[in-house]
Amino acid sequence: MGMYTEILIKADIKIDIPTKVHEILTFLFTETDVDKPKDLPDHPFFKYDEWTLIGRCSSYYHIPTCLNFYEKEYLFSRSDLKNYGNEIDLFFDWIDPYICAYEGKCIGYSWYEESDEPTLIYKKKEIENPTTIDMFGIKFEM
């Protein structure tokens, strides 16, 4: 029996993301009946069939339901999955360039069910030419 890892994402999304990225985020993080995107990026995250479980899978080991909110500039999600292929780290690596945040800002966590505490996930790369800045919960467009 495999163990589950909870994943929580809380991030501002750049306003100028490619259509392909928006389609993937819509598929993963909205409750609309959206078909799985066919044109996937060339990134290791999409090499695993389980990439479709982030935002869409939950178990009774954590909270038995997913919680998602995605609008073009904001993403919040709580789900959990068996992280056999390191899909969670690969997901954060893929989405990192599309997150509007400074390097080092906490954008979520993963929490393995047998761990005493979560592992915080931080924005890796500094954004170039930010299009919005979030200060005290207020977004300013550049």
pLDDT in tens, the chain (142 residues): 468 899 999 999 999 999 999 999 999 999 777 889 988 999 999 998 889 989 988 877 667 788 999 998 999 999 998 888 889 999 999 999 999 999 999 999 999 988 999 999 999 976 555 555 555 555 555 4
**pLDDT of amino acid 2:** 66
CA dist list (Å): 28 to 34, 67, 121, 131, 138: 9, 11, 19, 24, 26
Whole-prediction pTM: 0.82
Contact assessment for residue 88 and residue 61, using Cβ atoms and an 8 Å cutoff: no
Q: Identify the sign of the CA torsion 89, 36, 130, 70.
A: negative
Domain, as residue range, for 134: 5-141
Question: CA gyration radius for the chain?
Answer: 15
Total domain count for the chain?
Answer: 1
